Amino acid sequence: LHAWPEYYDSKSELWKPIDPTWENTSGIDYLSSFDLNHIVFVIHGKKPDYPLPAGMYKIDNSQDISIKPAASYPEEKKEVIIDK
C-alpha cells in the first residue's frame, strides 16, 4: 500500500493531491496531475497519526482486504436539509 500526500496551494486556495514517488518508478509526472484510479482507505483529519494507514494494524502476513467492482449502483437520494 502507498500514501498520497496533499499540499495546500494558497494561490488557488485548494488542497492538491500529489504522488512524487511514481515519477521515480514510472517517469510519469504526478505533481501536475493525479491518477483517479486510486482507492482511498483512510483520510487523515485533524490528527496526523490517526486513523492508521491501511495495513498498519496487521500482525500476520496475510491478505484480508478484497476489492471487487459493484454489480450495481446504489439509488441516488437527492435531498437538501436546511436547519434553522
C-alpha cell at 74: 446504489
Return the higher-pLDDT residue of 81 and 58. 81
- 3-class DSSP state of 14: strand
Provide, rounded to the nearest whole percent, the portion of the chain with pLDDT above 90. 2
d(CA 39, CA 70): 14
d(CA 38, CA 43): 13
> Quick check: 31 and 23 in contact, CB under 8 A?
yes
pTM, full prediction: 0.37
d(CA 69, CA 55): 21
Instruction: Share the mean pLDDT of the chain.
Output: 74
Calculate mean pLDDT across residues 43-72: 75
* pLDDT greater than 70 at residue 20: no
Provide, rounded to the nearest whole percent, the portion of the chain with pLDDT above 70. 58
